[in-house]
């Protein structure tokens, strides 16, 4: 077999490590992009707690400290050019990394990167990235230039990996590199690749990365639009010709729907009446009433003689939907089935026939669940599911069913275009009347006695409260409180109230009982992890305390806040933090200042970037090399416009055969993600 790296003169261990990392060609090696760059021509000299720095200096002391499981390594680092005074010293610490003692020693000159924080003894950086610099090193690719820092490949040190990349860039054969989809005769593709890896100036790499991002997003949009065209060409159900059930449901409601809900129902109804499959995203802020809209769609399917299935990400949310639907639809005598991993329940007798509405978790994909005529599939909180799980449910239908995916996590426009561009979008952008404004506040290191007093005052009036923590159990590596230990403390502080504990590691039947007790008012306070983030609806709960709030993203904090303010009582969300990180505190202040989820989503995108906002489960995003540009509205729209233009002029890509290999589903049966 030919050696793809024969021109690079790699050692056998290098090739083995690359192969284990899935890199088996020159192209894949060049696509292992830098995660960031360090300007090693001029290092940082000033330090701001909470912000990352890149420093060059010397290790003057290294020791192992602690005992047993609490053992850690600590070094004293002196910034280059500083006197051996406190302002030039920084402590470096590594926990549970015993091999560090083989990598660091007093006398070494190193370049390090990490986030600085203050301790009782001065500045400290935990788990810094570092690289040993050869004594008196000058020039080359490791120092005195803009240096690429790559994602680690096990078995290849950062310094060696950089050398391999340099050789790979020197050996670029433009014939074997994917050509530009929109060629510019004045551009040298090889130079652009080199600028991504080893730029002369930061601006060079930004311009090159932007060019490649446009190409990558063009391919993403091409796939999205191609899939959409195939969906529209498939044979589907024509549903909603009759609206008797929907009208009766409307007439029985004790309130009127909002204009945004009515508009969304009208859009969904039009899609369902057409013989082509509906493929729609229903996007609405916390508490905007998406569930009402989903139920209206289900009634259209049921009256058309078909079944409707709703898949929720958690048992708690699935049970909540079942109880809500059962209550609303009781006058209409609709047969509803609940199916989760540990529970099955139905609202009708076995002799009454098949279920018309099926609600469940991932259990709908397994456990012998079969559908006779599945006409509508609804995926709730769709970002919690992988692509394959959604497909499995959809493919249980005889035809291509109508599909409605819902999210209460507001998605910025650029991400909607990129990731959900094959879906038509319905937006619920107003809240139902009567929703209470939530008083939000940030509190740094509040006294426990003051928090307890506030809680007792509210609980004495008959209200209920959530107290949320980031961890299930305490961790030596993370400075954050955990529900298991904090529950005991709160139970003592609030001894005259019933204090419950809920987290994801509990058995399903135990979680079910805890939520039942909280809904019924038997439990006054629920100490929980983020398992209550979505779908939990307890109108009497009006307090949300979130500890270590800086550890959560804005969208997640907004979701948690949405668990209160659902009843007639004045509601509070208190974000509690011990951090001194100004960036983290600013994030919390942004949340406290606005309840508009879409504004928060845009801020979250700016603060955390698209990768963290989306996670890796979404279709396509885990493969993107230039994901940071998903926040660039102009670039995303440009890529979309170019893809639309190509498909409009050449729907089957007959004149663009070089694009066909990039269509992931061209030779597959219809798949809907």
DSSP string, 210-275: HHHHHHHHHHHHHHHHHHHHHHHHS-B----S--HHHHHHHHH-SSPPPHHHHHHHHHHHHHHHSS
Domain end: 129, 144, 159, which one? 144
Is residue 588 pLDDT above 60, yes or no? yes
Query: Percent of the chain scored above 70 by pLDDT?
Result: 87
Domain end: 407, 428, 449, which one? 428
- CATH number of the domain within which 66 lies: 2.40.50.140
Is residue 290 pLDDT above 50, yes or no? yes
In this structure, are 374 and 401 located in the same domain? yes
In this structure, are 530 and 569 located in the same domain? yes
Maximal C-alpha separation, the chain = 87
The mean-pLDDT minimum among 314-318, 386-390, 627-631 falls in: 386-390
Q: Of 164, 163, 156, 111, which is closest to residue 134 (Cα–Cα)?
A: 111
Is residue 547 pLDDT above 90, yes or no? yes
Instruction: Give CA separation, 128 vs 181, 224, 318, in Å.
Output: 40, 40, 43
Report the domain count for the chain. 4
Q: Domain for residue 119, yes or no? A: yes
Q: What's this model's pTM, rounded to 2 decimal places?
A: 0.71
The mean-pLDDT minimum among 108-122, 183-197, 252-266, 627-641 falls in: 183-197
The mean-pLDDT minimum among 80-94, 369-383, 450-464, 538-552 falls in: 80-94
For 407-429, the pLDDT digits (tens) are 877 677 667 777 777 788 898 88
Full residue range of the structural domain in which residue 658 is found? 215-233+632-662
In this structure, are 446 and 582 located in the same domain? yes
Q: Domain for residue 28, yes or no? A: no
In this structure, are 63 and 139 located in the same domain? yes
Token pair of 491 as six digits = 């139970």
Q: Domain for residue 123, yes or no? A: yes
Continuous segment of H or E residues that includes residue 641: helix 633-649
Please tell me the predicted confidence (pLDDT) of residue 297: 96
In this structure, are 254 and 402 located in the same domain? yes
Is residue 271 pLDDT above 90, yes or no? yes
Give me the sign of the Cα torsion angle 76, 79, 81, 85.
negative
Please tell me the predicted confidence (pLDDT) of residue 614: 54
In this structure, are 140 and 256 located in the same domain? no
In this structure, are 261 and 400 located in the same domain? yes
The whole-angstrom separation of Cα 246 and Cα 297 is 9
Is residue 655 pLDDT above 50, yes or no? yes
User: Helix/strand/coil (H, E, C) string of 595-607?
Assistant: CCHHHHHHHHHHH
Token pair of 578 as six digits = 């011990």
In this structure, are 471 and 490 located in the same domain? yes
Q: Indicate the pLDDT class of residue 621, thresholds 50, 70 and 90.
A: low
In this structure, are 320 and 275 located in the same domain? yes
Higher pLDDT, 29 or 134: 29
Tally of CA atoms within 13 A in the half-sphere of 14 that contains its CB? 18
Is residue 669 pLDDT above 50, yes or no? no
For 54-98, the pLDDT digits (tens) are 888 899 999 988 776 678 899 999 987 655 444 678 999 998 888
Continuous segment of H or E residues that includes residue 557: helix 554-561
Q: Indicate the pLDDT class of residue 176, thresholds 50, 70 and 90.
A: very low
Q: Domain for residue 503, yes or no? A: yes
Higher pLDDT, 628 or 209: 209
- CATH number of the domain within which 574 lies: 3.40.50.300
Please tell me the predicted confidence (pLDDT) of residue 610: 64
Is residue 136 pLDDT above 60, yes or no? no
Q: Indicate the pLDDT class of residue 16, thresholds 50, 70 and 90.
A: very high
In this prediction, residues 565-584 reach a mean pLDDT of 87
Domain end: 538, 565, 594, which one? 594
Q: Of 504, 515, 498, 499, which is closest to residue 472 (Cα–Cα)?
A: 504
In this prediction, residues 294-310 reach a mean pLDDT of 95
Q: Domain for residue 605, yes or no? A: no
Q: Domain for residue 187, yes or no? A: no
> What are residue 55's phi and psi, to 5 degrees?
-130, 150
Is residue 241 pLDDT above 70, yes or no? yes
In this prediction, residues 590-603 reach a mean pLDDT of 82
Token pair of 443 as six digits = 């509190």
Q: Domain for residue 156, yes or no? A: no
Continuous segment of H or E residues that includes residue 561: helix 554-561
In this structure, are 478 and 590 located in the same domain? yes
Please tell me the predicted confidence (pLDDT) of residue 437: 81
Cβ distance 481 to 286 under 8 Å?
no
For 450-503, the pLDDT digits (tens) are 999 999 999 999 999 999 998 887 665 566 778 888 999 999 999 999 999 998
Please tell me the predicted confidence (pLDDT) of residue 399: 80
Q: Indicate the pLDDT class of residue 623, thresholds 50, 70 and 90.
A: low
Q: Domain for residue 164, yes or no? A: no
In this structure, are 347 and 423 located in the same domain? yes
The whole-angstrom separation of Cα 519 and Cα 541 is 9
In this structure, are 414 and 449 located in the same domain? no
């Amino acid at each position: 077999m030919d050696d793809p790296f024969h021109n690079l003169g790699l050692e056998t261990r290098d090739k083995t490590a690359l192969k284990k990392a899935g890199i088996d060609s020159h192209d894949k090696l060049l696509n292992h992009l830098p995660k960031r760059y360090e300007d090693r021509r001029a290092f940082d000299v000033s330090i701001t707690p909470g912000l990352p720095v890149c420093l060059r200096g010397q290790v003057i002391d290294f020791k192992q400290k602690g005992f047993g499981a609490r053992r850690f390594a600590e070094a004293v680092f002196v910034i280059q050019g500083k006197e051996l005074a406190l302002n030039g010293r920084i402590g470096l610490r590594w926990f549970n990394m015993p091999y560090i003692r083989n990598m660091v020693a007093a006398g070494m000159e190193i370049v390090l990167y990490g986030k600085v924080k203050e301790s009782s003894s001065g500045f400290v950086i935990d788990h810094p990235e570092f690289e040993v610099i050869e004594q008196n090193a000058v020039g080359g690719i490791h120092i005195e230039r803009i240096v690429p820092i790559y994602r680690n490949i096990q078995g290849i040190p950062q310094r060696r990996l950089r050398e391999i990349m340099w050789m790979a860039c020197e050996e670029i054969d433009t014939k074997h590199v994917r050509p530009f989809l929109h060629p510019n005769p004045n551009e040298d593709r090889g130079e652009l690749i080199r600028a991504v890896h080893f730029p002369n100036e930061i601006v060079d790499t930004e311009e090159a990365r932007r060019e490649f991002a446009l190409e990558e997003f063009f391919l993403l949009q091409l796939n999205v639009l191609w899939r959409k065209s195939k969906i529209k060409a498939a044979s589907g159900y024509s549903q909603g010709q009759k609206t008797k059930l929907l009208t009766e449901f409307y007439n029985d409601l004790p309130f009127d729907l909002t204009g945004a809900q009515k508009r969304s129902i009208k859009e969904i109804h039009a899609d369902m009446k057409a013989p082509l499959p509906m493929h729609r995203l229903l996007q609405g802020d916390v508490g905007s009433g998406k569930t009402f809209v989903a139920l209206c769609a289900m009634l259209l399917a049921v009256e058309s003689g078909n079944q409707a299935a709703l898949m929720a990400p958690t048992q708690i949310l699935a049970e909540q939907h079942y109880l809500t639907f059962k209550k609303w639809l009781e006058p209409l005598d609709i047969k509803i089935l609940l199916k989760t991993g540990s529970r099955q329940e139905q609202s009708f007798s076995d002799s009454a026939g098949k279920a018309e509405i099926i609600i469940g978790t991932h259990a709908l994909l397994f456990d012998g669940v079969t559908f006779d005529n599945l006409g509508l599939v609804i995926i709730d909180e769709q970002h919690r599911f992988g692509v394959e799980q959604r497909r499995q449910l959809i493919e249980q239908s005889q035809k291509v069913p109508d599909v409605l995916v819902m999210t209460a996590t507001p998605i910025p426009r650029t991400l909607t275009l990129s990731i959900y561009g094959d879906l038509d979008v319905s937006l619920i952008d107003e809240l139902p009347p009567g929703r209470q404004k939530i008083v939000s506040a940030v509190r740094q290191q509040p006294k426990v006695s003051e928090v307890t007093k506030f809680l007792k005052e509210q609980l004495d009036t008959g209200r209920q409260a959530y107290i949320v923590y980031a961890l299930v159990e305490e961790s030596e590596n993370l400075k954050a409180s955990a529900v298991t230990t904090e529950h005991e403390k709160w139970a003592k502080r609030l001894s005259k109230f019933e204090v419950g504990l809920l987290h994801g590691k509990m058995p399903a039947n135990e979680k079910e009982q805890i939520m039942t007790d909280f809904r019924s008012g038997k439990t006054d306070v629920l100490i929980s992890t983020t398992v209550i983030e979505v779908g939990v609806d307890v109108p009497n709960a009006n307090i949300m305390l979130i500890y270590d709030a800086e550890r959560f993203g804005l969208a997640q904090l907004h979701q948690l806040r949405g668990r209160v303010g659902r009843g007639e009582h004045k509601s509070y969300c208190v974000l509690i933090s011990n951090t001194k990180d100004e960036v983290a505190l600013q994030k919390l202040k942004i949340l406290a200042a606005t309840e508009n989820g879409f504004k928060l989503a845009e801020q979250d995108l700016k603060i955390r970037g698209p990768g963290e906002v989306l996670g890796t489960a979404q279709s396509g995003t885990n493969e993107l090399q230039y994901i940071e540009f998903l926040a660039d509205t102009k670039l995303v729209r440009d890529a979309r416009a170019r893809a639309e233009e190509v498909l409009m002029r050449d729907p089957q890509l007959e004149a663009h055969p070089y694009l066909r290999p990039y269509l992931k589903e061209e030779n597959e049966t219809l798949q809907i993600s």
